[in-house]
Structure 1
Amino acid sequence: MPIVDLLLVITLVILAGVFLRVGPLNRQQQLETAFNRQQLDDAFYQLLEEQSSCISLIQLTAASRVDVEQVRKYLDRQVKMFGAVPEVDADGDTFYRFPKIQGRPRADKSA
């Protein structure tokens, strides 16, 4: 019986060690994902303003400094969400034209 108890204790210690190692990795991944998302959001909206609502994958990747596959997924979601239109320039590069960012209409002060 003591052997069974010893094996049970060893198993529990090993499982506890595994869970303690996995926890911080998941937390680290969550922090990295949140940071990348913030970088992408900041770069995306800045490029919308600077580039007349026309953005390419390489521009967003360079501006955000995030892995190109993550940027591709992010840009695909933004294209679907905002209904962007793909355009190809003379060099064969693909850009996505998003709706223009406009301020609120101003009230007519003459009335």
Structure 2
Amino acid sequence: VIILIYIYITFFITSILIIIIVYIDIYIYIVILNIFLIFIIIIIVVIIIFIKKIGFCDALTHRFLCRLEFFKLDVHFIFQVFFKFLLNFYLFIENLLFFLMVMKRIFIH
């Protein structure tokens, strides 16, 4: 299920990329993509800090959150897996942008 969601999101974003690259220059979109990546990394860091704070399991959160299996997992492992997933996705989009830029230069000029 996760792989299908990943493939769907990838095709959705690449279709948007193709439309943007046709009408907007490639360098503007690379700047937008880098800003988007920084924004996602900030969100991930905030989520990890929140998970670490909950993971201490004080008296208030012990009943509800510490019984969940997710919070018993290693936070660093979750961060590494998610960050590798994000990095691979980002590199895929960068390679696709380069390919589309080359194809645009070939067919337009």
TM-score, normalising length: structure 1: 0.34
Tell me: higher relative CO, structure 1 or 2? Use CA pairs within 8 A at least 6 residues apart.
2
Higher helix share: 2
